[in-house]
């Protein structure tokens, strides 16, 4: 499976029962604390494996760092955060590569495994399926507020925890609930990633009032603390959105997410199974919409 379908990770079948699932992701620091940054970057890199229903097994560090510009202790803390998350995912770090670069960047190349008959793609949602999200939205806006010193310590801790949270249990929940299609919400925001799930095949209704939001995100959006990527996402994806109108959600649904939650489609008849497994595995879920035969290729805001 290649890159044509914009799926989250590449898949290579080894045998009837096993396929490799591979992905790579790295970026510049999203938070000041290097230890949190390492955890967030690693959780973000492994997320694409979980979005495809796979399990990460091995990881390699990708590091851009200048020891002349920054103390080595900083890099150690970033890597410590990364290793902690790799361990939590029960994967192993096999090595990595570093480049001397004035701008710090960190992330992972991750290899996981998946049953080739149970790969979860971003296409495949059926009319009537429920649309489920597993993390609140707003990390792009909150990170912008953080850079402007508008968040207190508790708020910073809350958003860091949210971004560093693995999507491992969320992935198990969707698999138990008989998922039809899934992706994770990252740089293209809720609307951009949702568009990848529907293509021109199907439509989807989104219940704006049911979308979970991080604390303070509405205030920050109202005050205009919006990341550049948000405007680009809105310009690019707005032709596919119906009933788009001004208001805080006008920004937030396009907000690029760092290490966002899983976004998936499950048949409505599996709702009780979905609720049961999310409770058992302690995964928060929000049902934020429903796929429909009407208005193919459109995201209908309600």
* Residues at the interface with Co ion (CB under 5 A): 8, 25, 48, 184
**Smallest gap, in angstroms, from Cβ of residue 21 to Co ion?**
12
DSSP 256: P
Of 48 and 255, which CB lies nearer to Co ion in the complex structure? 48
d(CA 232, CA 245): 17
**Smallest gap, in angstroms, from Cβ of residue 78 to Co ion?**
19
Point out the residue whose Cβ comes nearest to Co ion.
8
Of 135 and 216, which CB lies nearer to Co ion in the complex structure? 135
Give the orientation angle of helix 271-280 with respect to helix 168-176, to 10 degrees.
150
Of 168 and 184, which CB lies nearer to Co ion in the complex structure? 184
* Strand (E) or helix (H) holding 292: strand 286-292
**Smallest gap, in angstroms, from Cβ of residue 183 to Co ion?**
6
Of 169 and 295, which CB lies nearer to Co ion in the complex structure? 169
Of 3 and 72, which CB lies nearer to Co ion in the complex structure? 3
Q: Is the Cβ–Cβ distance between 145 and 151 less than 8 Å?
A: yes
**Smallest gap, in angstroms, from Cβ of residue 54 to Co ion?**
12
Q: Is the Cβ–Cβ distance between 191 and 229 less than 8 Å?
A: no
Enumerate residues 6+ apart whose C-beta is below 8 A from 97.
60, 61, 62, 63
**Smallest gap, in angstroms, from Cβ of residue 45 to Co ion?**
7
Coil, helix or strand at residue 168: helix
């Amino acid at each position: 499976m290649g890159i044509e379908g914009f799926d989250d990770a590449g898949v290579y079948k080894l045998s009837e029962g096993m396929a490799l699932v591979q992905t790579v992701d790295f970026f510049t620091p999203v938070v000041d604390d290097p230890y949190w940054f390492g955890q967030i970057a690693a959780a973000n890199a492994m997320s694409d494996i979980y979005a495809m229903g796979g399990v990460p097994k091995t990881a390699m560090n990708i590091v851009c760092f200048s020891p002349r510009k920054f103390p080595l202790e900083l890099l150690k803390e970033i890597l410590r955060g990364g290793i902690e998350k790799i361990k939590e995912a029960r994967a192993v770090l096999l090595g990595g590569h570093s480049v001397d670069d004035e701008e710090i960047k960190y992330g992972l190349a991750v290899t996981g495994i998946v049953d080739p008959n149970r790969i979860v793609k971003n296409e495949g949602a059926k009319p009537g399926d429920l649309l489920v999200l597993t993390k609140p939205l707003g990390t792009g806006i909150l990170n912008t507020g953080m850079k402007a010193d508008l968040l207190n310590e508790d708020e910073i801790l809350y958003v860091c925890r949210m971004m560093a949270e693995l999507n491992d249990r969320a992935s198990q929940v969707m698999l138990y609930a008989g998922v039809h299609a899934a992706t994770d919400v990252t740089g293209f925001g809720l609307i951009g990633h949702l568009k990848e799930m529907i293509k021109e095949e199907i439509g989807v209704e989104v219940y704006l009032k049911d979308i979970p939001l991080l604390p303070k995100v509405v205030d920050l959006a109202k005050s205009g603390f919006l990341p550049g990527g948000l405007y680009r996402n809105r310009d690019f994806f707005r032709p596919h959105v119906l009933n788009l109108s001004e208001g805080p959600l006008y920004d937030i649904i396009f907000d690029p997410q760092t290490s966002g939650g899983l976004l998936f489609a499950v048949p409505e008849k599996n709702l009780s199974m979905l609720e049961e497994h999310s409770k058992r595995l302690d995964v928060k879920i929000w049902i934020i919409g429903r796929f429909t035969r009407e208005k193919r290729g459109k995201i209908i805001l309600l």
